[in-house]
Amino acid sequence: MLVITSGRLSRELVPAIDAWAQIDGVYIYCMDKSRHAEWAKNYPKIKDIFVESGPLMNRIGADLEELRAKSKSKPSPIPAAGATSKPCILDGYEKLPFSTLEEAVEPLKGIVGEVEQMVWTAKQNCQNPENGLTVDESASISVFTMEWFPRESSLSYILNEALRTEERQKVTPWFLYLRLLFHGLSKLKTISGIVHQGFSGNLTKNYPTNNIYTAWQFSNCARLIESLEEDEDFGKTGKRTLLAIHCRTGKDITRHAFDPSKEQILLSPGCQFKVVSALEADNDLHIVQLQELEPIYSFN
């Protein structure tokens, strides 16, 4: 957010900064609103023009609350889509050549706003990758785990949104990136055991016992429940749903995550899960137990 305390100065600055992705909104504080209202209509990031400080501060406060609410929102958990036998939306990615991460995100520049900055940041932390991964493979994992602000602009959020649509045309721009990511994941240790995801609200109605679901998004899980308590969307209080997943194909991405202080297990798209049970641990905490089934697709 940017506040410009001069009508004349704002007229000079706004045309140059209106397209900047890092600026969510511009507020103009001046002496005469009528002199600037007409030209300001051409720039959608101008929230409003103010001549009094009180309304200006109230508007900024309200917009900040809205941004905070959006930043806490998470993509929906494993969706309630039945078992599928239709062609995989990712068919063909494996035929593409390997590339650098910079080349792999070239088709994403119009989809992920600051992807070049994300890649540069990730590569600064991946100079000596472990597990036999190349710098580009490790950085592809790092950039996936990187949280941008607002959360909806994070690469992983946008990728998962595309995968959940199950629309091939929305997924194909990601193929070069997925080629790197999946190949890097194939070199990592496979985890079989209990992992966890946490979400706000009571989601048990989405998981009827014995139903089988296919998850088309990546699912980043925690080994320890305690680590979810630091997650703003789960935390320690309020109505929450804990998914306890007995996985068989998880990949330990901890050493390649942007924040390696938390143990992270990644489940790939196409995993199938059976709902074993759902229970109410107390008035606010609901637990859903899932069992990963034999995978219907394998990516590497």
Q: pLDDT per residue over 147-166, tens digit each?
A: 998 889 999 999 999 999 99
- Determine the 3-state secondary structure of 276 from DSSP: strand
Mean pLDDT across 115-132: 94
Which of 77, 297, 299, 81 shows the shortest CA–CA distance to 195? 77
Residue 17 has pLDDT above 90, yes or no: no
- Cβ neighbour number for residue 68 with a 10 Å cutoff: 11
> Does the bond joining 107 to the residue before it have cis omega, within 30 degrees of 0?
no
| Mean pLDDT across 260-287 | 92
Place domain 190-299 in its CATH homologous superfamily.
Toxin ADP-ribosyltransferase; Chain A, domain 1 (3.90.176.10)
Q: What is the mean pLDDT of the segment spanning 99-116?
A: 97
157 to each of 38, 50, 204, how far by Cα in Å?
37, 35, 23
Assess whether pLDDT exceeds 80 at residue 23: no
Residue-wise pLDDT tens digits, 169-199: 999 999 999 999 999 999 999 999 999 999 9
Q: Which pLDDT score, from 0 to 100, does residue 12 have?
A: 84
47-87 tens-digit pLDDT:
999 989 888 888 888 877 666 555 444 555 655 555 554 56
pLDDT for the residue numbered 73: 47
Neighbours of 255 (CB within 10 A): 16
pLDDT digits (tens, 9 = 90+) for 199-252: 989 999 999 999 999 999 999 999 998 888 888 778 788 899 999 999 999 999
Report domain extents, the chain: 2-72, 86-187, 190-299
* Separation between Cα atoms, residue 160 and residue 171, nearest integer Å: 10
For the segment 93-105, the average pLDDT, to the nearest whole number, is 97
- DSSP secondary structure, 5-24, as one string: --HHHHHHHHHHHTT-TT--
